[in-house]
Amino acid sequence: MTDVDTPPATTPAAIDAVPLRHPWRWVAAVVIIILLALFLYGAATNDAYRWHVFGEYVFNERVLSVGLLNTLQLTIYSMVLAIALGVLLAVMRLSPNPVFKSVSWVYLWIFRGTPVYVQLVFWGLIPTIYANIQLGVPFGPSFFHLNLQALSIPFLLAIVGLALNEAAYMAEIIRAGISSVPEGQLEASTALGMSWGMAMRRTVLPQAMRVIIPPTGNEVISMLKTTSLVTAVPFALDLYGITSREIAAREFEPVPLLLVAAFWYLVVTSILMVGQYYLERYYSRGASRKLTNKQLEVLAKAQGTGAPGGGGEGA
Amino acid sequence: MTPMVKAEEVCKSFGALHVLKGITLEVGKGEVMCMVGPSGSGKSTFLRCINHLEVVNAGRLHVDGDLIGYRDGGAKLYEISPRVAAKQRREIGMVFQHFNLFPHRTALGNVIEAPIHVKGVKKAEAVARGEDLLEQVGLADKAHAYPAQLSGGQQQRVAIARALAMNPKLMLFDEPTSALDPELVGEVLAVMKKLASEGMTMVVVTHEMGFAREVANQLVFMDGGIVVESGPPRDVLANPQHERTKAFLSKVL
């Protein structure tokens, strides 16, 4: 042991150890590559896949500008609606108000307790069940009148159906996120004079986002695929409807067109995964005591110039 | 002169559990009161009653002449709305044992949060005052660090600056050094001493007898939900009257 106050004159040489070998990883990789090659060879030579039909339709104008576009629109609109409604339901569920609490509970009970396919069929039947919408005094004069059956609104009904179902799941995800924030955070905000609502908005929800984002990304991806159920409304102009119903039925080629649909679902999912990565990174700021590259650079520079270190850097 | 804190027979129970059984005491303006006692004696609960984080069940609690938590309607007391309660709390700063800093905001972000969003202070003004406060607690260079990157002592000093940013007339400290490494306790106590010397009225729940002896005007020893003994710290510490106080002090001194 040398005296702690005097640093050694020369720093010891950096360690250059022989890395640990992992032979079984190589064996596993070789086995998997062989299996994959066999599968790809089989798929390429099997006539049932009809790759020339896949090639013909994968960039088909109707698949892209109608099918893919409608699927994306259904996903985005219903997800945005679902998140907004989910936040509202979660906050209601956690609020001190007993009326809000029970309303939120009943909503969850109904919309989580019935299959989304059944709900979509139901929304499709809304114009039949409620043929007319009137706004006015009950049993009195009417100010506004709308004939639902005269409108053609399957796209709108599909969005409403998907969103209301999804909101129930989003509400639970958001509630879990809010509950994950320590109680002391709400207390500290309250002690600073914030109202419950402001403490939720400024302190609790931003911290809950770190827990909310990953499962929400999951839900967006799940929603992208659930949109293929809108055929129940019935709405047939989404990616699955266009490829596997309209074109496949016309050409008698179900397999390659299913592959076209799967291909585009996979492409969009991949893009969503990249977006999720960046969102997660943004909301995890402050969650770790690990310093950012920029902060490390500043500290290293300070060390280099012989500035007084220590002082409880914490890291 | 109206005392800053005036408690008359304050009682608090959680269901069948009676935590406070009639606390009567006064803290004058500019005074520092330290509360000591074994855990479970009700010190923290009393502190939380002062800013209405807990609702008082019986008795009256006044801060600077205002009844806390209720509106006095002569014959009856009326519950106050959350909005009015929030307004009362703005003038009472609180520092917690576990700091409770906002982890998603920088040190400066923590300090300017309430002035901007609760009081409506302009951002530039709040930032200037926030930087000034961080300098006062010795953390001017840590303004842009997140709480997770600060040591416990630094976090607690940020928490003190955050409470001071609302210009409180009363500061409550709930065991501010209990969660700290021994070598970090001193830096937090130094900030608190400076605050006391500047005339801030403070109620401090603590186990730091040295701090109490040096800074407090009044030392209160609590046990089992009542005030067992109180008085100038030198008297209580050097010459305790009650057996219970003697037994407690013999263990902590």
Q: Are the C-beta atoms of B193 and B204 separated by less than 8 Å?
A: no
Distance CA A105, CA A14 (A): 61
What token pair was written down for B163?
């409470």
Q: Are the C-beta atoms of B10 and B54 separated by less than 8 Å?
A: no
pLDDT of the residue at B1 = 80
* Contact flag B53-A191 (C-beta cutoff 8 Å): yes
Neighbours of A92 (CB within 10 A): 19
pLDDT of the residue at B252 = 81
Predicted confidence band at A291 (pLDDT cuts at 50, 70, 90)?
low
The residue length of chain A stands at: 315
Q: Is the peptide bond before A234 cis (omega within 30 degrees of 0)?
A: yes
pTM of the model: 0.78
* Mean pLDDT computed over A4-27: 82
Q: How far is CA B182 from CA A139, B159, B186, B208, in A?
A: 75, 18, 8, 11
Is the confidence at residue B115, as pLDDT, over 90? yes
pLDDT of the residue at B242 = 92
Of the listed ranges A80-84, B71-75, B114-118, B138-142, the least confidently predicted one is B71-75
Quote the ipTM score: 0.91
Q: How far is A171 from chain B (nearest CA, A)?
A: 23
Show residues of chain B in contact with A182, CB under 8 Å.
100
* Contact flag A184-B82 (C-beta cutoff 8 Å): no
Is the confidence at residue A297, as pLDDT, over 90? no
In whole numbers, what is the pLDDT of chain A averaged over residues? Answer: 87
Is the confidence at residue A12, as pLDDT, over 70? yes
Is the confidence at residue A305, as pLDDT, over 70? no
Q: Are the C-beta atoms of B81 and A196 separated by less than 8 Å?
A: no
Is the confidence at residue B215, as pLDDT, over 90? yes
Continuous H helices in B36-148: 43-50, 82-90, 107-114, 123-136
Q: Are the C-beta atoms of B45 and B12 separated by less than 8 Å?
A: yes
Is the confidence at residue A9, as pLDDT, over 80? no
pLDDT of the residue at A11 = 82
pLDDT in tens, B235-250: 999 999 999 999 999 8
Residue A146 DSSP SS3: strand
* Interface probe, candidates A95, A97, A192, A299, chain B, greatest B C-beta count within 10 A: A192
pLDDT of the residue at A310 = 43
* Mean pLDDT computed over A288-310: 65
What token pair was written down for B8?
């008359």
Predicted confidence band at A303 (pLDDT cuts at 50, 70, 90)?
confident
Please choose, from the candidates B200, B197, B208, B195, the residue with its C-alpha nearest in 3D space to the C-alpha of residue B237: B208
Of the listed ranges A234-238, A300-304, A310-314, the least confidently predicted one is A310-314
Instruction: Tell me whether A188 touches chain B (CB under 8 Å).
Output: yes
* Mean pLDDT computed over B54-69: 92
Show residues of chain B in contact with A192, CB under 8 Å.
89-90, 113-114, 118, 162-163, 166
Is the confidence at residue A311, as pLDDT, over 70? no
